[in-house]
Amino acid sequence: MTVESTAAARKPRRTSKRTSAAKKPQSSEPQLVQLLTPEGERVEHPDYSIDLSADELRGLYRDMVLTRRFDAEATALQRQGELGLWASLLGQEAAQIGSGRALRDDDYVFPTYREHGVAWCRGVDPTNLLGMFRGVNHGGWDPTTNNFHLYTIVIGSQTLHATGYAMGVAKDGADSAVIAYFGDGASSQGDVAESFTFSAVYNAPVVFFCQNNQWAISEPTERQTRVPLYQRAQGYGFPGVRVDGNDVLACLAVTRSALERARRGEGPTLVEAFTYRMGAHTTSDDPTKYRADDERAAWEAKDPILRVRTYLEKERLADEAFFTALETESETLGKRVREVVRAMPDPEPLSLFEHGYADGNSLVDEERAQFAAYQASFADSAEEGK
C-alpha cells in the first residue's frame, strides 16, 4: 500500500520572513513507500515486498536500539568535555540501519559525518568513530577493512567519490554496488549534480541515499528545492523513490531493490529517505533558535524504534526476556564506550605529519621540522621560567 506523506511532514517549518518568502514545492504531495506505519501496523507495497524472519526483525530492532544508545553516550561524552564535537543521528536510525543492512559485505559505502548506524552495520567499532571526534586518530579506521569509507565533512563531495568508485567497479566487471549517503542540504551542491550526471551517463552501479532530515543546520528543505528531492533523479534519467525514512523495513526493501538494480548493470537510483533530525545539527548547534518545539513533537510520534517495538510485541515476535537482555546489552555498550574513550591517549603531536604521503614529501618534511622547532621553543621558555 502506498500512503500519502502526512501534512505535518510538508508543513512550512518557520514563520520568519525569510522562510515564508520561499515558495513551497509546486508539485502535488509526493507519495512515500511505507511497510510499517508509525502505529506499528504492517502494510504492503506493490513494488517493495519484504519477508523477514522473527530473528531478522529482532536484529533490526537491536541494531537501532544499540545505535541510539551509542549516539546518546557520545552526546553525553561531548558535554563532559571528552569529545570535541558530535553529530547525533537521533531520529535517523531506521534510515541508516535499513539501508545499512541491505548491503552486502563486498558493497562499498561512502558516508557523511552522521552515518553512525551504517558504520555499526559495517562492523566499524563505535569507539573508532569517537576517537575521530575526540581528535586522537587520523580519520578513524581503515576503509578497506569494512568497505566503509572515511567520514566526509566536505558536503556532497563523497557522491563524486562514490560515482568514480562505482565506475571502477563496473570496469572491473565486479557485481558489487556502491552507496553514497548525503543530506537534503548536500543536494544543492554542484558535486551532487555532477555525480548524478556522470553516474547516469556511465550507468554506474551506485545508489544515492539522501537522508532528508528536513534541515541543513538552520536551513529548512524549502530552501534547497522546489520539488521533492527524489523527483530530481528523473531529470538525470534514473529512478528516484521517496521512502518513509523512519520505517526500517521500507528503507531495507527500497535500498535492497536499488542495490540489485545497480548490480544488474541498470545504473543509479536516488533514494530519498524522508526522516527528521531530532537533535541538534551537532553539539555546537542550538536548534531552539530556528525551529519550533511542536515540529519535533510531531516527528516523535513517528519514532523509528517505537513502531518496531509495538509491532514485535503485538505480533508476539519478541518476549520480555529479549527486551531485558537488550537493555543489559545497551548498558554494557555504553559503559565500554565511556571507558575506552576516556582511556584514549593523546597522540604525539608530530604524528600529524605521518599519514599524508606514503613515501614522504619534502614540503611536509619542512613543515614537520618547523613544527618541531615551534614545540621546542616552549621547552626553552619552560626552562627559563624555572
Sites for Mg ion among residues 166-185 (CB under 5 A): 183-185
In Å, what is the CA distance from 118 to each residue of 44, 186, 196, 268, 336? Answer: 25, 18, 22, 20, 20
Residue 223 known to be catalytic: no
CB of 217 to ligand TPP, least distance (A): 5
Is 247 a binding residue for ligand TPP by CB under 6 A? The answer is no
Answer whether 239's CB lies under 8 Å from 232's CB: no
**Chain position carrying cell 502526512:** 6
Sites for Mg ion among residues 185-214 (CB under 5 A): 185, 213
CB of 7 to ligand TPP, least distance (A): 22
The one of Mg ion, ligand TPP, none whose footprint includes residue 124, by CB under 5 to 8 A per kind, is none
Is 93 a binding residue for Mg ion by CB under 5 A? The answer is no
CB of 344 to ligand TPP, least distance (A): 25
CB closest to ligand TPP, residue no: 183
Is 217 a binding residue for ligand TPP by CB under 6 A? The answer is yes
Sites for ligand TPP among residues 107-146 (CB under 6 A): 114
Q: Which residues contact 98 (CB under 8 A, 6 or more apart)?
A: 60, 247, 248, 249, 250, 251, 252, 253, 255
In Å, what is the CA distance from 168 to each residue of 112, 118, 165, 203? Answer: 21, 23, 5, 11
Query: Helix/strand/coil (H, E, C) string of 255-293?
Result: HHHHHHHHHCCCCCEEEEEECCCCCCCCCCCCHHHCCCH
CB of 188 to Mg ion, least distance (A): 11
Of 55-63, 76-84, 179-187, 370-378, which part binds ligand TPP (CB under 6 A)? 179-187
CB of 229 to Mg ion, least distance (A): 10
Query: Measured on CA atoms in the order 44, 32, 212, 293, is the torsion positive or negative?
Result: negative
Q: CA 96 to CA 253: how far, in whole Å?
A: 13
**Chain position carrying cell 518568502:** 21
Q: Considering only residues 32, 60, 109, 155, which one is a binding residue for ligand TPP as defined by CB under 6 A?
A: 155
Answer whether 31's CB lies under 8 Å from 50's CB: no
Site pattern 289..308 for ligand TPP (x: CB under 6 A): --------------------
CB of 53 to ligand TPP, least distance (A): 32
Measured from the CB atom, the residue of 181 and 311 that comes closer to ligand TPP is 181
Answer whether 32's CB lies under 8 Å from 243's CB: yes
Is 216 a binding residue for Mg ion by CB under 5 A? The answer is yes
Is 216 a binding residue for ligand TPP by CB under 6 A? The answer is yes
Residue 138 known to be catalytic: no
How many other CB atoms are found less than 10 A from the CB of residue 290?
A: 17
| Burial letters 48-86, b for 16+ CB under 10 A, else e | bebebeeeebbebbbbbbbbbbbbebbbebbeeebbeeb
Of 13, 277, 307, 338, catalytic: 277
Is 184 a binding residue for ligand TPP by CB under 6 A? The answer is yes
Of 11, 3, 7, the C-alpha closest to 221 is 11
Residue 281 known to be catalytic: yes
Answer whether 109's CB lies under 8 Å from 320's CB: no
Measured from the CB atom, the residue of 261 and 281 that comes closer to Mg ion is 281
Measured from the CB atom, the residue of 192 and 318 that comes closer to ligand TPP is 192
Q: CA 357 to CA 266: how far, in whole Å?
A: 37
Of 232, 281, 307, 338, catalytic: 281
Q: CA 291 to CA 215: how far, in whole Å?
A: 10
Measured from the CB atom, the residue of 185 and 268 that comes closer to Mg ion is 185
Q: Considering only residues 38, 185, 268, 287, which one is a binding residue for ligand TPP as defined by CB under 6 A?
A: 185
CB of 223 to ligand TPP, least distance (A): 10
Answer whether 160's CB lies under 8 Å from 195's CB: yes
How many other CB atoms are found less than 10 A from the CB of residue 204?
A: 26
Is 219 a binding residue for Mg ion by CB under 5 A? The answer is no
Binding residues for Mg ion, total number by CB under 5 A: 5
Site of interaction with Mg ion (CB under 5 A)? 183-185, 213, 216
Q: List active site positions.
A: 277, 281, 290
Site of interaction with ligand TPP (CB under 6 A)? 114, 153-155, 183-186, 213, 215-217, 277, 281
